[in-house]
């Protein structure tokens, strides 16, 4: 959700309360469209974030840590030149517009006090930061714009002007009856009619008003008397919340994928989702957008790593196919040996210059045609066939070993790909990159010099019988769990012939019941590539029967004396045992 004008009005009230007379202490730009201003007042240092990033434009205090680039962008240098050590005198919101103004009192080049303003424009992909002098002239802007629609120029030296006003009723300064009249004239669903007739409230608030007022988003011009009464009451409720009365509830609605929406009123349109309330809008925005940024960062990093692992897997499969083709050629080794032997037996009947010879194969009493090199003597032709035979025998031995190793390599890479697909944190991605680097796959990747942050790389469960069940999130964790953490009598689980987590059911000296075994098998199937399949085979055995041969890759083990259980994975069992 983008910040609407009402939310910006709330933000302006909160920021003004905390920023008035605060001194600018430090300015930097961690990204090309984000400015961080550290300000100092009696209560200490606060970090103000101004972001003009499309889809994530906002202004609020933040507790997140951001890097200060060694080489500041030009716009950052400009802000430092004009605003460093200045004092913030006011924060105000433009009525009905998604624009915030930050007014600064600074010293100019002659030492006189003057006023400068920063216009924070939160308008989707047109979001911008504009520095304006006391005469209303633009000093510079983060993005230079010449609008083709309304002729608005945002360039140095131009006079600052507001965007062309929309032909809508401003929500904060309009009466309920006035808004009702404008909405009823629209032949659109109520939520769309509200968005089209009233300025200052965003789509999520319009949908909420419609949800509370009319069933199935009835067209505005078809609303009955009861719906109009509910609409009037709801508009009054929202106005009182916007004005800061008791109906205001700053909250975030979250689902399984993280934060979905935020608002200044309870969002009853969302059912069965978690709601988190906040006392401060800055805390709300910091939480909401920090989660979004982490998700986007993880998506970018996971996409990059998935691509790299995909390329590694493709190369391994291609090498394996090439080896298989070479091995097929080696099947001719016995024929080369036979040809060399027959040429030796019938050497007296052959002469140099012959290109072929038909001789009797005394093994099956049939004639066989043997190709010859006319430039070679019969003896040399026989020796060549013997040499080809020895080469093929050697190649067959080497290729057979390489094919076995290739199958292990492909299995390992697929296990890494599965771990990448299920990784959720930056630490997990870093751990996987480190693993691939140490395995020799990411030769150009430079490991961070700092020690990796400690992170929980295990899924943790408790069986219905009270047994601990742990599952590894990656190959390193799988090895540690299976080979170090598990006691000899603990039960080891792994999906059969597929990539997945090692799962340990800790017996603690007791014999687990069938229910615990089934639950651990379900967890092993759920944390595997077969999680969407039915009737998945899961092998299990005591941990003492699981071994790691010298030189095997992380997560690769061999096991004996095992049994197999078949389960159909579902999320309910693991979720209920967490």
DSSP string, 11-29: HHHHHHHHHTTPEEEEEEE
- 9 and 145 in a single domain? The answer is yes
What DSSP string runs through 345-401? HTGGG--TT-SEEEEEETTTTEEEEEE--TTS-HHHHHHHHHHHHHHHHHHHHHHHH
Percent of the chain at pLDDT exceeding 70: 95
Antiparallel, parallel or unpaired: β 153-154 and 169-170: unpaired
User: How many Cα atoms are found within 13 Å in the side-chain-facing hemisphere of 103?
Assistant: 16
User: Do 147 and 136 touch, CB atoms closer than 8 A?
Assistant: no
**Domain co-membership, 129 together with 30:** yes
317-322 own/partner pairs: CB under 8 Å, 24+ apart? 317/410, 319/406, 320/403, 320/406, 320/407, 320/410
- Examine the domain organization and report whether 142 and 267 are in the same domain: no
Q: What is d(CA 307, CA 301) in angstroms, rounded to the nearest whole number?
A: 10
List pLDDT tens digits, range 14-60: 999 999 999 999 999 988 889 999 999 888 899 999 999 888 899 99
Q: Could you tell me if residue 191 is inside a domain?
A: yes
pLDDT 10s digits, 150-164: 668 899 999 999 888
The count of structural domains within the chain is 4
Provide the pLDDT confidence category of residue 301 given band limits of 50, 70 and 90. low
Residue 452 clears pLDDT 60, i.e. is over it: no
Note the pLDDT tens digit of each residue in 427-443.
778 888 888 887 888 87
Range of the domain at 27: 5-154
pLDDT, tens digit (0-9, with 9 covering 90-100), for 466-479: 889 999 888 888 98
**Domain shared by 199 and 234, yes or no:** yes
Task: Give the pLDDT confidence of 384-421 residue by residue, as tens digits.
Answer: 989 988 988 888 889 888 898 888 888 888 888 888 87
Look up the CATH number of the domain holding residue 134: 2.30.310.10
Residue length, the chain? 578
Any domain includes 324 = no
**Last-in-domain residue among 239, 259, 279:** 279
What integer is the mean pLDDT of 277-304? 82
Residues 353, 269 share a domain: no
The reply to whether 146 and 187 lie within a common domain is no
Q: Residue 371 — φ and ψ, nearest 5°?
A: -75, 140
* 113 and 228 fall within a common domain: no
Does residue 137 share a domain with residue 13? Answer: yes
Q: Is residue 88 part of a domain?
A: yes
More confident residue, 482 or 577: 482
The torsion region of residue 449 among left (phi > 0), alpha (psi -120 to 50) and beta comes to alpha
User: What is the per-residue pLDDT for 576?
Assistant: 66
Residue 303 lies in a domain: no
Residue 415 near residue 554 (C-beta atoms within 8 A)? no
What's the Cα-to-Cα distance from 91 to each of 11, 103, 106, 114, 223, rounded to whole Å? 9, 6, 15, 16, 40
Same domain, 73 and 42: yes
Q: How many CB atoms lie within 10 A of CB 177?
A: 10
In a domain, 98, yes or no: yes
Token reading at 77: 């240098």
* Pair (223, 105) in one structural domain: no
Inform me whether the pLDDT recorded for 149 exceeds 60: no
- Residue linked to tokens 């905390």: 18
Same domain assignment for residues 141 and 236: no
Position 290 pLDDT exceeds 80: yes
Question: Does residue 542 contact residue 491 with C-beta atoms inside 8 Å?
Answer: yes
Residue 121 lies in a domain: yes
CA distance 297 to 291: 10
How would residue 244 be classed by pLDDT, with cut points 50, 70 and 90?
Answer: confident
Q: Look at the pTM and tell me if it is higher than 0.75.
A: no
Residue 177 has pLDDT above 70, yes or no: yes
C-alpha atoms less than 13 angstroms from C-alpha of 3 in its C-beta half-sphere:
35
CATH code where residue 220 lies: 1.10.8
The CA–CA distances, whole Å, from 61 to 82, 285, 309, 353, 438 equal 21, 9, 39, 92, 41
Render 61-78 in DSSP notation, one character per residue. Answer: E--------SS--HHHHH
Residue 425 lies in a domain: no
d(CA 261, CA 516): 40
Q: Comparing C-alpha atoms, which of 202, 265, 273 is closest to residue 233? A: 265
Which of 382 and 443 is assigned the larger pLDDT? 382
Is 295 within a domain? no
pLDDT digits (tens, 9 = 90+) for 46-102: 999 999 988 889 999 999 888 788 889 999 999 999 999 899 999 999 888 889 999
Last residue of a domain, one of 154, 177, 205: 154
- 360, 383, 403 - which closes a domain: 403
Say if residue 144 is in the same domain as residue 259: no
């Amino acid at each position: 959700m983008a910040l609407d004008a009402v939310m910006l009005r709330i933000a302006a009230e909160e920021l003004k309360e905390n920023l008035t007379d605060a001194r600018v202490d430090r300015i930097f730009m961690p990204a090309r469209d984000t400015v961080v201003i550290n300000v100092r007042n009696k209560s200490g240092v606060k970090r103000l974030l101004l972001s003009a990033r499309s889809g994530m434009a906002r202004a609020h205090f933040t507790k997140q840590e951001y890097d200060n680039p060694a080489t500041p962008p030009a716009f950052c240098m400009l802000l430092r030149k004009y605003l460093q050590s200045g004092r913030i005198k006011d924060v105000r919101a433009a009525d009905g517009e998604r624009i915030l103004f930050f007014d600064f009192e600074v010293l100019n080049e002659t030492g006189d006090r003057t006023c400068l303003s920063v216009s924070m424009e939160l308008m989707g992909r047109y979001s911008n930061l504009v520095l304006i002098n006391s005469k209303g002239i633009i000093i510079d802007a983060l993005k230079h714009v010449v609008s083709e629609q309304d002729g608005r120029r945002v360039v140095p030296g131009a006079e600052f002007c507001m965007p062309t006003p929309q032909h809508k009723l401003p929500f904060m300064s309009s009466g309920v009856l006035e808004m009702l009249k404008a909405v009823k004239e629209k032949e659109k669903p109520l939520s769309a009619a509200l968005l089209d007739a009233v300025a200052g409230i965003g789509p999520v608030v319009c949908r909420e008003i419609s949800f509370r007022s009319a069933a199935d988003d009835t067209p505005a011009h078809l609303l009955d008397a009861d719906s109009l009464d509910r609409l009037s009451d709801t508009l009054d409720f929202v106005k009182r919340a916007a004005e800061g009365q008791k109906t205001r509830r700053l909250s975030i609605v979250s689902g399984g994928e993280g934060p979905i929406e935020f608002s200044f009123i309870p969002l009853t349109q969302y059912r069965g989702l978690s709601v988190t309330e906040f006392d401060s809008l800055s805390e709300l925005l910091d939480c909401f957008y920090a989660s979004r940024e982490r998700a986007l960062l993880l998506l970018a990093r996971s996409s990059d790593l998935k691509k790299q692992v995909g390329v590694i897997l493709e190369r391994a499969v291609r090498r394996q196919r090439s080896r298989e083709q070479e091995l097929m050629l080696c099947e001719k080794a016995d024929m080369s040996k036979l040809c060399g032997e027959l040429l030796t037996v019938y050497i007296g009947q052959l002469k140099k210059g012959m290109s072929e010879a038909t001789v009797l194969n005394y093994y099956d009493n049939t004639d066989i045609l043997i190709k010859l090199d006319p430039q070679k003597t019969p003896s040399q032709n026989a020796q060549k066939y013997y040499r080809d035979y020895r080469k093929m025998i050697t190649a067959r031995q080497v290729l057979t070993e390489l094919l076995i190793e290739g199958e292990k390599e492909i299995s390992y890479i697929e296990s890494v790909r599965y771990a990448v697909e299920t990784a959720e944190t930056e630490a997990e991605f870093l751990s996987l990159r480190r693993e691939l680097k140490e395995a020799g796959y990411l030769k150009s990747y430079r490991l961070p010099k700092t020690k990796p942050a400690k992170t929980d790389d295990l899924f943790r469960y408790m069986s219905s019988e009270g047994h601990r069940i742990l599952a590894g999130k990656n190959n390193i964790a799988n090895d540690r769990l299976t080979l170090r953490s598990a006691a000899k009598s603990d039960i080891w689980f792994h999906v059969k012939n597929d990539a997945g987590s090692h799962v340990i059911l800790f017996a603690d000296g007791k014999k687990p019941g069938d229910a615990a075994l089934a639950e651990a098998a379900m967890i092993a199937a759920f944390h595997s590539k077969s999680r969407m399949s039915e009737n998945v085979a899961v092998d299990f055995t005591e941990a003492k029967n699981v071994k790691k041969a010298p030189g095997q890759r992380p997560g690769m083990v061999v096991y004996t004396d095992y049994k197999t259980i078949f389960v159909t994975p579902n999320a309910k069992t693991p979720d209920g045992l967490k």
